Every structure is written in C-alpha cells, then in structure tokens.
A and B are shown apart, each in its own frame.
Chain A
Amino acid sequence: MEGRLVSFLRNTFRRRQVEGELDEELRAFLDLAAREKVAAGMDPEAAARAARLELGGVEQVKREVRAGRPGARLEDLVREIHGGMRALWRSPGLTAALVLTLALGIGANTAIFSVVDGVLLRPAPVADVDHLVIVWETDRHSGTSREPASLPDFTDFQRRARSLARLAAFMAGEVNVAAPAAAGGGAAGDPRRVAALSVTDELWPALGVAPLLGRGFTAADTRPVAARVAVISESLWAAQYERSPDVLGRIIRLDEEAHVIVGVMPDAADFGVLQILSRAAYSRSFADRGAGGRVDVWTPLVRDDERLPRDTHPIFMIGRLAGGSTRAAAQDELAGIAADLERGFKENDGRGVFVESLPDAVFAPVRPALMLLLGTVLLVLLVASVNVANLLLARGATRAREVAVRTALGATGARLARQFAIESVLLALLAGAAGLALAFAGLRVLLAIAPADVPRLAQVGVDARVLLFTLAVSITVGVAFGLMPALQARRVEVQSALRGEGGIHATAGRARRRLRAVLVVAEVALAVMLVSGAGLLTRSFWHLRDVDPGFRPDGVLKAEVQLPAARYPVDFARWPDLPEIHAFTRALLERAAALPGVEAAAMAGNHPLDPGFTNSFTVVGREAEAGSWPEISVRRVTPGYFATVRLPLVRGRLIATSDVTAGEPVLLVNRAAADRFFAGREPLGRQIRLWGAARRIVGVVGDERIHGPAAAAPPAVYLPLAQAPSAAGGEVVLVRTRGDPAALAPALRGAIRAVDPQLAAFGIEPLDRTMDRSVSQRRFVMLLLGLFAGLALVLAAVGVYGVLAYGVAQRRRELAIRLVLGAPPGQLRRQVVAQGLLLAGAGVALGLAGAAALARGLESMLFAVAPTDPATFAAVAAFLLVVALAASYLPARLATRIDPMSALRDE
C-alpha cells in the first residue's frame, strides 16, 4: 500500500523525472537489444532496425506504462480537462457568448440569493426566535389591529400574564448625540441625529441578547428618580470611542442632557424593532426620518404613569412565550386581561389585543417580494441555460464529424459523453466565476437602492454560503445542459457522418432541429412570463405615480427639528401657552419665509407624508355617537401650510394668523372627516372636543394621503400650531420655492442654525424625494423585475435568431438551388420569418398562460391593476412578437444573400 502511495505521489508530483526515466529505460532496451544482435553477428544498422522492430511503437509502450500506473484515471481526467479547455479556447467567440450568457444568469441568482439568505434564511440574532411575540393593542372603532399600548396597560399585562415568561416594552425616538470632546480638550463637534430606543430592563433578557461590554438595564434604572444612564450600539462605540473599553462610565450628551454610559450592545440587538415600527398604525420608522436603520442609543424607559397616562399610546411590547405556551394561548389570556381593562377604564373603550409572532411581523412584509425576485432570477437562469444548450447543440452539429472520427477510432459513447460533460462543466465554472464578479458589482447597486426597512440588510454579503450556492448552481447547470448535446452527439451515425457533407444523418438532424425549436419556444414562454410580471408592476407603479396625493410635493423642501425639553420646557399646566416653543416657531418661520426664492413657508407638527398620531374626539352635542367612532388624525400647522403644500380649501376659511394661542380654539376638518362624521349635516360652526377644549370648525379642506399614495386619506383635523404646540418637541419646517428645492437646503439649515445654533436639523430633503421613498419597495421590485425581464427578453431574442440563422446555414444548398431555379427572394424571406413567428407565437401563447397562472402571486404588489390585466398581456404579446420578427428578419436576409454558385461549389 505504502509502495503504491509513494509511486502515486512520485508519478503525480515528479512527473518530469518519471517520464525522463521511462525514456531512458526504453533507450537502454533498444541499445542493449541492438548490441546483443551485433554480438550475434548482425551488422550494426540491421541490428538497430531489428531492435526498434522488437520494441514496437515507443509512444505506444509509454502509453501502456502510464495507463498501468496508480493515479492513471486522475491523469486521464486532467488530460480531458486540458483537452476541454483547448476545445473552448479554439472557438473563443462562442465560448465568450456561452460564458457571458450563463454568467448573467448565475450572477443574478448569486446576488438575489445573497439577499434572500442574509435577510430570510440566516438564523435570527436572538435566542429561540419562534417563541417571541409582539403584543399589539387593537381598536374596534377604527378597525386598526396594530397599535402601540399605554404604559399602565403594559404594566397590567406584564403583572398578570402567565402565558408569557417575560414581557418587555420599548418606545422609539431619536436623539441628538453630541460628539465626545476630543481627547486634547477641544470643543465638541456638531451633534448627530441617531435612532434611540427607551426600553424596559426585560427587553434584552427576553430577546436573549447580551451586552458586549458593561451591563444592560436594571429595574432600578426605569424608576422616575433614577440616575440617567445609557447603552450605546457597537457601531457608535466603534465610530466615536474607537472600541475603547474605557467607554464605560463616560458621559454622553443626549439631547443636551448628560447620561452615563453603562454598556455596549451588539448591533443586532435591535432585531425586529424597525419592522415593528413600520408595521404599526400611526407610527413611522426611523428610516423615514433619515436617522438610518440602526438603533445607536438605548436609554431606560422611565415608568412614570403621570407622564405616560393610560390615554397615551407610545409603548411597543415584545414578549417571550412561557415554556409550553403558544401564541394562541397568549392571545386568549391577554384578550381576557384587555377585556378587564376595558371594563375598568374609560380610556380603554374599544381596546383589545393582538398577539403576533415576531418572525412573522419581521419577515412577512419582505418575503413575497424576495421570493418573487428569487423566482424571477431562477427563470432568467433557465432562459440563459436553454440558450446555452441551444448554442451547444448547434456546435454539436458542427462537431459531428469529430465525434464520428473518434467513434471510429474506438472512443466509447461513455467516454465521449464524459468529455462533453467536462467541457460544459468547465464552461459553467468559468461562467460561475464571471457571475460572481457580476454579483459583487450588482449587489452593491442592489443594496444602494434597496428600501431601508428590509430587515438585516446590513448583514447581506457574499460569503462562503453564497459561494457554495453559486458553485452548486454552476455545476448543476453545466451537467444538466451539457449532457443534452452530449446525448445528441451519441446518436451520430459514424458512416454517414464521415461520408456525408452535411455532417449528420438527415433524421438525426431533424430530431436536433425539433429539440432546438422546443427549446426556443420554452425560452420565449419564460421571457413572456417575466415581461408580463414586469409589465403589471410597471403599470401599478404608473398608477401609483398618477395618484393625486391631495397636495403638491414638487418644489417643497422640508426639514425637521427636535426641540430639547431642557431649553424648550413643556409645562402641561400652561399648555398650549409654551412661550419658548412659540418663539422658536415664529423666529424660524420668519427666517424661512425670507429666504431667496421662497414663495410660501410653514411650520407644522408633521410633514404631509408623516402620518403623525391620532386621537379620540367628540362632536359637541353628539357625544353619545363618539363611542363607535375611530380616532382622528391630528395635524397641527401654521397658516402658511395650505399655500406651501397647495392643500385646497373646500368651504369656509383656512387657519389665519389671527388664530392665536389665546384666541378662540378653532380647527379645520378634511373632506374625509366631513363625509364620515357629518354626512348630510353642516360641519361649519360645529364644535369638536379635543385635547381638553371645544374647538369650532371654521373650514373644510381637501384630503392629504398622509399614509402614502397607495392608501386613502384618513379623516383628519387641522389645528393652528399656535393653539396646539408639540408636547414632544418635534417640529417640521416646509418651504415652497420657485427654484430647485434641493439647492435651498444649505440656506434652510443656516436659518435653523441662526435661530438656535445648538439644534441639529435632520430629514432635510425635497418633499418629492420623501414621496418617492414611500413607494421605494415597489420601485425596487419593479426595477429589478424589469431588469431581469429585459435580460430574459434579450436572451430569448438571441435564441430565436440563433435557431433561424443556423437553420438557414444548414439549408444553404437547398435555398441556393431554389434561388437558381427562380424562386423569388421575397418568398424565401417570408418563409424564414414565418418560421420564426411560428416559434415565437407558440412561446407567447404558452407564456401568457403561464403568466396568468403566476400573476396571482403578484397580486399583493399590484395597485389598481388586475393580475390578468388584458391590456398588459396584449402589449406584452405584441412586443414579444415584434422582437421575434426583428430576430427572424436578419436570418431571412441571410437566406436570400446566399451566392448560389459558391453555395453549390462547396459540395
């Protein structure tokens, strides 16, 4: 055994020496044999000849020796791979076409797979994710099923629920973080706006996430009188503290208040937070606020029932099911508790609970889109593979002679098939490598344009798992589609191939042509399916863009600020008379309105695409009805708001500068509110009781689609900002300019700084960009599907062209004879084109049937378009036929450009 291993290693790694020795051994044999014969009396020349004769073919002997060596099969394989490479190298054009085609398919798959893998397939960064649940409150009156809870409700649920091992709460917000003063004692840098979360001490134990450094929060930290502490994210730790362990105990200024850093959390500790926020009604995720998709600062949620009473709902609840409990059991138990609360407190009228599985909430919104994209790229890969099989088949025909010669020389069918398979696997691996390069580039673009609320997007990348996937796909494609021509090649009839000029027997040729036609039909059908899907999404997107949002975002620039309570105190006893805040509002408004090119300016509680919050209300004199009414969206604006966003007045008057803090409380209702609550009655002059005051309705305005263009405008009221300043300190400034709104950003930032130099402005962007982002997931899917459909279309067109061009080339002689005999060229052209259209037509018919079947899966992503929209399907069919027509016309021209003399002489 050991001897074999040694000689195997010798043969493999000291090849040159082994071969040299074999050479010398054989020469010695010749020499010795000749000398022997000379000694026996032969003359030297005859002896040499006789010795050579005795030895036989030197090369043959060597080959026999090599074949007997250990490792000979491996050597065979190496030689075959070498041969395969040479074969590919001999036709560089074809090889490049094959590799590029496959690389596009493989690259698209690798890129999308790496996203799907990173987002959906990888295990969650928390312990036992399937036992985590979100506890939402529901509102029977408005029909919403995902609302945040109040702090007292949370405390009651937490105290009473037995089906949950732990229940934790968090509250989302943003804070300004002042950069730490430089070590040399220099001035602190500009504050940065980061996403922040106030959490109860149970959150991390519930998730099963441990701090990297220091500690999490304790129950003591959440008491109203506790010292101010904070935990920072790993990223912030790296960016601002260079990962120094000394960070513990240092002071971080959050919204200008000093906090002691007690811990560092891994970035993954905010698992699901972003998605919970985007799913909730009346909430918005950090991503919409330009604060980025990662929580950087964590503070204890101060459990102060006076500041967060039962009618205030900012609390999100995450629970871990107790051992042996299920989501359904938790739902039943918590619903019982909620019913008790509803009986006990009038604030809880109509409130229930909805226990949702956390993985469902996190992944459900992106799963359909990602699965759609994965399906799409698989179809593209299929089209690419079919094209490659087609090209290989065409080449197989030209190689029939080679196959025949080798068969005649004794190569077995298995050996030939093996060689073809090796060639196609080589091709596929080359394509895999090229595809990987494409995927790297594509992934960067993909991540750049991906909507920010896709979970775990930051963890997407090309790693070992993805490489393995690419390798598996490449080899599968290589073997599957390489074997097809190989099997065809085995059918070559040696005699006729060697004799015949066409290379293959007529029947084999017909079978091959039929197979290629079937492949082309399949290709066209797949392309039709993809183009139909892309068409439906594109039409949806157009519809969405055509929706009138009720306001005009173009030409408007927005900026958001957060007024720190330290310098802008909120005294609830005096509200709405908060002089510091009103002074800020007036000062900034004055400066913004005076900026060059500004037509109109306004301050508001929320910009038009920020749903803000809702409140319950009553109409004075109709209090009994209010029990079954949903909450109403509350908008707070200065008089200039309506001119700035071009929100039209329907009846009555708008908010005026005369509606001051001390004046009569007034408000406007939108048309949706007028229709819903004043159907058939006059709203003007009626009073709405809201926030402790009866406010007179002085006007009706149009509807703003504050939830984005895809959702109808909810009922809303507009209050003068002067009579309803923000208790939480958030304000928005909006300016309408005659010029480019983006160009005005530095000036607006300057205006804010001039009013309060310490204030960080954020979310500064033209409003139409905000609008675009609200449809970003749709656009993302549409763009990608469109791209892949285009790819499939090009490949299918190449396929049609290839089959027809090859058919024309094969029929050269026949066509030449017909031309010589006087057939009109137009007729020949029409025949070729008709053939192409026949193939394409079959493909289109099949593809439309397939698209109709698949479109149902698209339904959730469509807007105002039926999944079987006839206009889209007709357009796709017509488009594909035109493409097929173009792809057929070139070969048709080829058919009539044949020079009959040369075509016939070739024989």
Chain B
Amino acid sequence: MSPRADLLRGTLDLLILKSLDPGPRHGLGVSRRIAQITGDTFEVKPGSLFPALHRLEGRGWLASEWGESENRRRARYYRLTARGRRQLRLEAEQWERIALAIGWALKAT
C-alpha cells in the first residue's frame, strides 16, 4: 500500500467516525454527512465506504443494527461504540497536530 493511500484511508476512517458522532446513520447517510461536513470536498464512493464501515465494525469501533429509515425502508444503522468514540478523539488530536505541523511547514520561508 502506498503511503498516500494509507493517509487517505486514515482520513476516511476519521471522517466516518466524525460523521457518526451526532448519532446513528445508515451507509447513505454517512456518505451524505461526510459530503456535508467537508463542504462537498470529499465524496465517498460506496466502493470505499462499505468496506471501511465493515472494517471499522470489525475493529470494534462501530456497532450496527437494522432499523427503519425516515421513509420506512429497512436499513442498516451504524453507531459509535465507546471505543469508537475514544478512537475518534485520538485520531482527531493526531490529525490536528499533523495539520498544524504541515501548515507551519508550508508557511515557513
């Protein structure tokens, strides 16, 4: 795996965790929420979204259950677990440190 893909995957995981912070969502909801909170900068394709959701669930950061959507369609809802919330905090801090550091680096003359 190239370092860039790694970086992107880390970013995607962080965004998914963040999008679920307010409450449970189904797959499409996660996708739309990410678009919304990033100002449409990140458009997460289902081809990356679903593998990521299942992977995060496999690591115990997300839990899922079947529920009914706003228009009465049965869908799978993901929510953060306690460990997921901890992971979100951890990754957010780390990201902020990196963003800050890179920001300084770019501003340096």
Contact = CB atoms under 8 A, between A and B. Distances in A.
A33 interface: yes
A65 B74 contact: no
Contacts of B47: 55-57, 60-61, 64
Contact of A32 (B48, B54, B73): B73
Contacts of B69: 28, 32
A57 B45 CA distance: 11
B95 interface: no
B51 interface: yes
A54 interface: yes
Interface residues of A, number: 30
A31 B71 CA distance: 10
B54 A68 contact: yes
A21 interface: yes
Interface in A4-33: 4, 7-8, 21-22, 24-26, 28-29, 31-33
B27 A61 contact: no
A69 B55 CA distance: 6
Given A3-B60, A7-B57, A25-B76, 10 more contacts: A25-B75, A32-B26, A32-B69, A32-B71, A33-B28, A54-B46, A60-B47, A61-B46, A64-B50, A67-B51
B64 to A, nearest CB: 9
A539 interface: no
Contacts of A21: 76
Contacts of B97: none
* Chain A interface SS verdict (over half): helix
A463 interface: no
Contact of B51 (A2, A24, A65): A65
A70 interface: yes
Contacts, number: 80
Contacts of A2: 60
B58 A28 contact: no
A79 to B, nearest CB: 18
Contacts of A55: 46-47
The 6 A-B pairs with the shortest beta carbon distances in the complex, nearest first, are A3-B60, A64-B51, A28-B75, A68-B55, A68-B51, A32-B28
Q: Which of B26, B46, B57, B69 has the most CB atoms of chain A within a 10 A radius of its CB?
A: B46
A35 interface: yes
A65 B45 contact: no
Contacts of B89: none
Contact of A28 (B26, B57, B60, B81): B26
B51 A56 contact: no
A68 B58 contact: yes
Interface string B19-41: 00000001110001000000000
A859 interface: no
A4 B46 contact: no
B59 interface: yes
A789 B57 CA distance: 62
A814 interface: no
A690 to B, nearest CB: 96
Given A28-B26, A56-B45, A68-B51, A3 B73 contact: no
Contacts of A54: 45-46
A36 interface: yes
Interface string A65-97: 101111000000000000000000000000000
Contacts of B60: 1-4
A845 to B, nearest CB: 56
Contacts of B76: 21, 24-25, 28
Interface in A268-326: none
Nearest to A57: B47
Interface in A781-829: none
B58 A4 contact: yes
Nearest to A32: B28
Nearest to B63: A3
B28 A36 contact: yes
A25 B59 contact: no
Interface string A439-468: 000000000000000000000000000000
A29 B28 contact: yes
A29 B27 contact: yes
A25 B27 contact: yes
Contacts of B28: 28-29, 32-33, 36
A68 B59 CA distance: 11
Interface string A199-225: 000000000000000000000000000
Nearest to A36: B28
B20 to A, nearest CB: 16
Interface in B56-93: 57-60, 69, 71, 73-76, 81
Contacts of A3: 57-60, 81
A28 B50 CA distance: 12
B75 A32 contact: yes
B40 to A, nearest CB: 14
A75 to B, nearest CB: 13
Contacts of B26: 28-29, 32
A1 B83 CA distance: 11
Contacts of B52: 68
Contacts of A25: 27, 50, 75-76
A3 B54 CA distance: 12
B94 to A, nearest CB: 22
B26 to A, nearest CB: 7
Contacts of B32: 36
Given A26-B50, A55-B46, A64-B47, A4 B75 contact: no
A276 B68 CA distance: 88
A241 to B, nearest CB: 66
A63 to B, nearest CB: 9
A54 B81 CA distance: 29
A438 B67 CA distance: 60
Contact of B50 (A24, A65, A70): A65
A28 B73 contact: yes
27 contacts: A3-B57, A3-B59, A3-B60, A4-B58, A7-B57, A8-B58, A25-B27, A25-B75, A26-B50, A28-B26, A28-B27, A28-B76, A29-B28, A29-B46, A29-B50, A31-B73, A32-B28, A32-B71, A33-B28, A54-B46, A61-B50, A64-B51, A65-B51, A68-B54, A68-B58, A69-B54, A70-B58
Contacts of B51: 61, 64-65, 67-68
B50 to A, nearest CB: 5
Nearest to A63: B51
A62 to B, nearest CB: 8
A65 B27 CA distance: 13
B74 A24 contact: yes
B49 to A, nearest CB: 9
Nearest to B75: A28
B16 to A, nearest CB: 13
Interface in A697-731: none
A35 B46 contact: no
Nearest to B56: A68
Q: Which of A21, A25, A33, A70 has the most CB atoms of chain B within a 10 A radius of its CB?
A: A25
Contacts of A8: 58
A35 B57 CA distance: 27
A68 B27 CA distance: 17
A258 B58 CA distance: 80
Contacts of B81: 3
A4 B59 contact: yes
A516 B27 CA distance: 57
A25 B74 CA distance: 9
B108 to A, nearest CB: 39
Contacts of B54: 22, 65, 68-69
A1 B61 CA distance: 11
Interface string A41-65: 0000000000000111100110011
A7 B60 CA distance: 9
Given A2-B60, A68-B55, A35 B73 contact: yes
Nearest to A62: B50
A21 B57 CA distance: 14
A35 B74 contact: no
Nearest to B28: A32
